[in-house]
Amino acid sequence: MNMKKWIAAALACSALALGACGGQSGTDKAAATQTDAKVYRVSMNAEFAPFESQDANNNVEGFDVDLMNALSQAGNFKVEYKHQPWDSLFPALKNGDTDIVISAVTITDERKQTMDFTEPYFEITQVILVPEGKGVKSVEDLKKVNRVGVVTGQTGDFAASKILGNDSPKVARFETLPLVIKELENGGLDAVISDSAVIGNYLKHNSNKGFTMVEVPDFETEHYGIAVRKGDEAALNMLNDALKKVRENGEYDKIHDQYFAK
């Protein structure tokens, strides 16, 4: 083989090699991107339906789960969920044991001192759940009852403390919403203060029990946010960008209507 033919053959082989090794199809690129996507540890207290709960196989489910799954698709990241007690969520975030907390967390000035929040993704207010015959229609009526149930450390607890006093014996604190609701059903409480969407969901599935949801103007409008570690701008920006995308493409409304359409 003369020199010109040898060079031509070498160039042809090089072109074939580059085509085989360097030219990924769109499908291959998408698969590679998905494989390389960062995995974020997401914690929640899955005892707050319809935002988060567990199914018969102890898998987490609910509005927050579906929303986070949609965000992971929009933002090209992966998630691993962990159910844990409410009072352990924020310490786990601070200590680096988890990366993201999405658990119907109300954005407050106090919480913003120790963690960062995304843009709000849900609006609620506190309401009062009362059994038939209690006649609670206002905050003043609430002050006259014997026991008001709340979940420790949630904004219902803050509201009750503001109305009745932080150390008031009238405030009965429970670890989870199912526990405080069960106590109300059993007659051990006169009222429960919790988030409007959660109480509304309970009434939707328990309309035969005679309970009433009381809305009072004394409770301010609140907003849920997704919490990340203080100063974690990369995670915060990623979540905010993904949240914007799912709002714009209609996925947020689709998930919302699945849980809250009347």
DSSP assignment of 91-111 equals HHHHHTS-SEE-SSPBP-HHH
215 with 241, same domain: the answer is: no
151-200 pLDDT, tens digit each: 999 999 999 999 999 999 999 999 999 999 999 999 999 999 999 999 99
49 with 167, same domain: the answer is: no
Is 43 contained in some domain? Answer: yes
Is 97 contained in some domain? Answer: yes
229 with 114, same domain: the answer is: yes
215-228 pLDDT, tens digit each: 998 899 999 999 99
51 with 181, same domain: the answer is: no
Task: For residue 201, count other CB atoms closer than 10 A to its CB.
Answer: 20
- Structure pTM? 0.81
58 with 117, same domain: the answer is: yes
Contact 128, 203 (CB under 8 A): no
DSSP state of 117: E
Is 208 contained in some domain? Answer: yes
117 with 162, same domain: the answer is: no
Is 194 contained in some domain? Answer: yes
Count structural domains, the chain: 2
User: How many Å from the N-terminal Cα to the C-terminal Cα in the chain?
Assistant: 81
Residues in the chain with pLDDT values less than 50: 1-33
- Give the model's pLDDT for residue 119: 98
65 with 144, same domain: the answer is: no
CA–CA separation, 145 vs 82, rounded Å?
A: 38
131 with 216, same domain: the answer is: yes
Is 28 contained in some domain? Answer: no
72 with 43, same domain: the answer is: yes
Structure tokens at 155: 């904004």
- Give the model's pLDDT for residue 89: 98
- Give the model's pLDDT for residue 37: 84
Q: Could you tell me the CATH number of the domain that includes residue 167?
A: 3.40.190.10
183 with 203, same domain: the answer is: yes
115 with 166, same domain: the answer is: no
Is 22 contained in some domain? Answer: no
Contact 50, 62 (CB under 8 A): yes
Is 18 contained in some domain? Answer: no
Owning domain of residue 181: 124-221
132 with 199, same domain: the answer is: yes
Is 23 contained in some domain? Answer: no
